[in-house]
Amino acid sequence: MTKSPRFDSGGTARFITSNCAHRLNIFEDGSCARLFLQEVVVAREKHEFRLFGYAVMPEHIHLVLHPQTSFPMSR
């Protein structure tokens, strides 16, 4: 499997996509999607980013965010 390129330019909004392991449909169940979104809220408070939008699909997620600190998004 090839890795997607990662770009980490400071001061810009970021589009993040992440796939579930083995493309399992773990978010098809609404409770898993809600748990993921609760963790996004925790991460937002901890790492101080603005969340512009998100999509939770059955086997992957998309986030559009803007970090307010120098936290490297590639981590």
Q: 34 with 5: CB under 8 angstroms?
A: no
What are the residue ranges spanned by the domains of the chain?
23-67
Residue that has been written with the tokens 């978010």 in this structure: 27
The model scores a pTM over 0.75? yes
Residue 71 confidence (pLDDT) above 70: no
Euclidean distance between CA atoms 16 and 65, whole angstroms: 8
Q: Per residue in 24-67, pLDDT tens?
A: 999 998 999 999 999 999 999 988 899 999 999 999 999 999 98
